[in-house]
C-alpha cells in the first residue's frame, strides 16, 4: 500500500517552530494537535514576524472547524444537529453545509459506498478495535438501520439546513473533514499574505504556491506494504491536495481477520480487503473524501472501478490492493 510521507517528528511535539534560511525567504514550520491528529504548517516568507500571526490564525481556523465538524466532541455542531434535526429542518453553518453537501454528492456518485451517516456502524467497529471483540450480526443490523445517506437531507435555499429521517442517527465526517480543514488553513495563510505554504493533517495535505525557486512541493508516495523500501515516487505538487487512505494505522485484527477503520456499507464491516488509495485532486475536501470512497469501491467492485471513480472526479490516484496474497498496483493516467 501507499502512503504519503508523514512528519517523523509527530510524537510528543506540541508546538515547534523552526526556520531554515533558503534563498531570500525563510522556511517556517509549525505543528499543533487538532482533530485527533497533528496538523503541520510549512510556509516561506521574508517577514517571519507576520508569519507567526498567519500561522496562529490558520490553526485557530482549524480549531473552529473541529468544533463544528467533530463527532468526538459531544457539543460539536455536528452532534447537536444530529439530535435536533430529526423530523424537521434545522439551520446549519456554512462549513457544515459545505462538507455535508460534498459528502452527499460523493454518496450519490458511489451509490452510498461513501456515507457520512454510517456513524452508528463506525462506532461499533471503533469499540471492536478497542476490545478485540467482533460486533454481533444483530448489532450491525440495528446500527445499519440507523444509517443510510438517503435519510439525510441537506438543502440550501438561501440558508443551509439539514433534516434527518429517524432518531438515533449519527454523522461521522472522519473521512472528509481533515481535507477540508487543510484547505481552509491554507486559505487563511494565503489571505494573510503567505501563498507559498502547505497544511498537512496526517495523510491529508493541501499545497499552495510552490516554494521559492521550485516547481512544487516534493511529496513522497511511500510503499506501505514494503515499508523498508525507499520512496518509489516523488511528486512535485502545488495548488493541489493529496490524501491517503489505508489500514496501516487503524485496524482491528480479530480471529485472524484484519478489519479496516473504513466500513463497507454493504457488509456493515470494516474492509477486509487490504487496500491503500492515494488521490491527488484540486482540493483536500475532494482528495480526502475520494481516497476513502475509492477504498470502499475497491472492495465492492475492484481496483479498476476505484480508479474510474477517481478519474471521473477530475483527480488522479494510485490504488494498491492485495489479491491472492500478492500486492498489485493500479495508477490512473496523469
Ligand atoms: P484517516 O482518518 O485515517 O485519514 P480516512 O480519510 O480514510 O482515513 O477516513 C476514515 C474514517 O472515515 C473512519 O475512521 C470513519 O470515521 C469514516 N468512515 C469509515 N467508513 C466510511 C465510509 N464508508 N464512508 C464515509 N466515511 C467513512
Ligand atoms: Mg478520507
All structural domains of the chain, each given as residue ranges with its CATH number in brackets, are: 8-69+177-237 (3.10.520.10)
**Is residue 225 predicted with pLDDT exceeding 60?**
no
Residue 176 alpha carbon, nearest atom of ligand 1: 6
The Cα 174–Cα 129 span in angstroms is 16
pLDDT of residue 46: 78
Average pLDDT of every residue of the chain: 90
Mean pLDDT in residue range 244-250: 80
**Is residue 5 predicted with pLDDT exceeding 90?**
no
pLDDT of residue 224: 57
pLDDT of residue 231: 52
Among candidates 59, 98, 92, 62, which has minimal Cα distance to 78? 92
Residue 265 alpha carbon, nearest atom of ligand 1: 23
pLDDT of residue 22: 44
The 10s digit of each residue's pLDDT in 264-314 is 999 999 999 999 999 999 999 999 999 999 999 999 999 999 999 999 999
**Is residue 19 predicted with pLDDT exceeding 50?**
no
Among candidates 137, 45, 123, which has minimal Cα distance to 82? 123
**Is residue 7 predicted with pLDDT exceeding 70?**
no
pLDDT of residue 1: 35
The Cα 16–Cα 251 span in angstroms is 30
The half-sphere exposure of 111 on its side-chain side, counting CA atoms within 13 A, is 8
Q: Is the CB of 174 under 6 A from ligand 1?
A: yes
C-alpha 240 – ligand 2 centre gap (Å): 15
Residue 288 alpha carbon, nearest atom of ligand 1: 6
C-alpha 190 – ligand 2 centre gap (Å): 24
**Is residue 31 predicted with pLDDT exceeding 80?**
yes
Ligand nearest to the CA of 103: 1
C-alpha 262 – ligand 1 centre gap (Å): 5
**Is residue 207 predicted with pLDDT exceeding 90?**
yes
Q: Is the CB of 175 under 6 A from ligand 1?
A: yes
pLDDT of residue 230: 53
Residue whose CA lies nearest to ligand 1 atom number 16: 174
pLDDT of residue 18: 41
Mean pLDDT in residue range 201-229: 84
Mean pLDDT in residue range 99-114: 98
Residue 263 alpha carbon, nearest atom of ligand 1: 20
Report whether 204 contacts 287 (CB < 8 A).
Answer: yes
> How far, CA to CA in Å, does 181 sit from each of 20, 286, 298?
26, 12, 26
Residue whose CA lies nearest to ligand 1 atom number 15: 174
**Mutational pocket test of ligand 1: of 261, 270, 300, 310, the residue with most ligand atoms within 8 Å of the beta carbon:** 261
The 10s digit of each residue's pLDDT in 128-183 is 999 999 999 999 999 999 999 999 999 999 999 999 999 999 999 999 999 999 99
C-alpha 75 – ligand 2 centre gap (Å): 23
Which has more pLDDT, 255 or 18?
255
Mean pLDDT in residue range 198-225: 90
Report whether 81 contacts 163 (CB < 8 A).
Answer: no
pLDDT of residue 229: 52
Q: Is the CB of 276 under 6 A from ligand 1?
A: no
Residues whose Cβ atom is located within 5 A of ion ligand 2: 175, 288, 291-292
Q: Is 101 exposed, middle or buried (0-12, 13-18, 19+ CB in 10 A)?
A: middle
C-alpha 246 – ligand 2 centre gap (Å): 9
What percent of the chain stands above pLDDT 70?
A: 89
Amino acid at each position: 500500500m501507499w502512503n504519503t510521507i508523514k512528519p517523523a517528528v509527530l510524537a510528543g511535539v506540541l508546538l515547534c517552530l523552526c526556520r531554515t534560511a533558503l534563498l531570500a525567504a525563510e522556511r517556517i514550520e509549525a505543528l499543533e494537535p487538532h482533530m485527533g491528529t497533528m496538523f503541520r504548517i510549512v510556509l516561506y516568507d521574508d517577514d517571519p514576524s507576520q508569519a507567526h500571526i498567519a500561522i496562529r490564525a490558520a490553526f485557530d481556523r482549524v480549531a473552529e472547524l473541529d468544533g463544528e465538524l467533530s463527532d468526538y466532541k459531544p457539543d460539536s455542531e455536528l452532534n447537536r444537529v444530529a439530535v435536533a434535526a430529526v423530523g424537521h429542518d434545522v439551520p446549519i453553518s456554512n462549513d457544515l453545509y459545505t462538507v455535508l453537501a460534498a459528502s452527499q454528492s460523493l454518496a450519490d456518485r458511489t451509490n452510498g459506498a461513501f456515507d457520512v451517516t454510517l456513524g452508528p456502524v463506525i462506532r461499533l467497529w471503533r469499540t471492536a478495535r478497542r476490545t478485540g471483540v467482533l460486533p454481533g450480526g444483530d448489532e450491525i443490523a440495528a446500527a445499519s438501520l440507523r444509517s443510510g445517506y438517503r435519510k439525510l437531507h441537506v438543502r440550501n435555499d438561501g440558508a443551509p439546513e439539514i433534516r434527518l429521517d429517524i432518531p438515533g442517527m449519527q454523522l461521522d465526517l472522519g473521512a472528509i473533514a481533515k481535507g477540508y480543514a487543510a484547505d481552509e488553513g491554507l486559505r487563511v495563510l494565503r489571505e494573510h499574505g503567505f501563498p507559498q505554504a502547505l497544511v498537512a493533517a496526517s495523510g491529508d495535505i493541501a499545497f499552495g504556491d510552490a516554494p521559492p525557486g521550485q516547481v512544487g512541493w516534493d511529496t513522497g508516495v511511500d510503499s506501505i506494504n514494503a515499508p523498508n523500501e525507499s520512496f518509489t515516487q516523488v511528486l512535485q505538487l502545488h495548488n493541489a491536495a493529496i490524501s491517503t487512505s489505508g489500514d496501516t494505522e487503524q485496524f482491528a485484527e480479530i480471529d485472524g481477520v484484519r478489519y479496516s477503520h473504513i466500513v463497507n456499507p454493504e457488509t456493515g464491516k470494516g474492509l477486509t480487503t487490504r487496500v491503500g488509495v492515494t488521490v491527488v485532486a484540486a482540493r483536500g475536501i475532494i482528495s480526502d473524501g475520494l481516497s476513502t470512497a475509492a477504498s470502499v469501491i475497491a472492495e465492492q467492485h475492484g481496483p479498476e472501478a476505484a480508479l474510474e471513480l477517481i478519474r471521473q472526479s477530475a483527480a488522479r490516484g494510485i490504488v494498491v490492493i492485495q489479491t491472492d496474497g500478492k500486492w498489485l498496483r493500479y495508477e490512473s493516467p496523469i
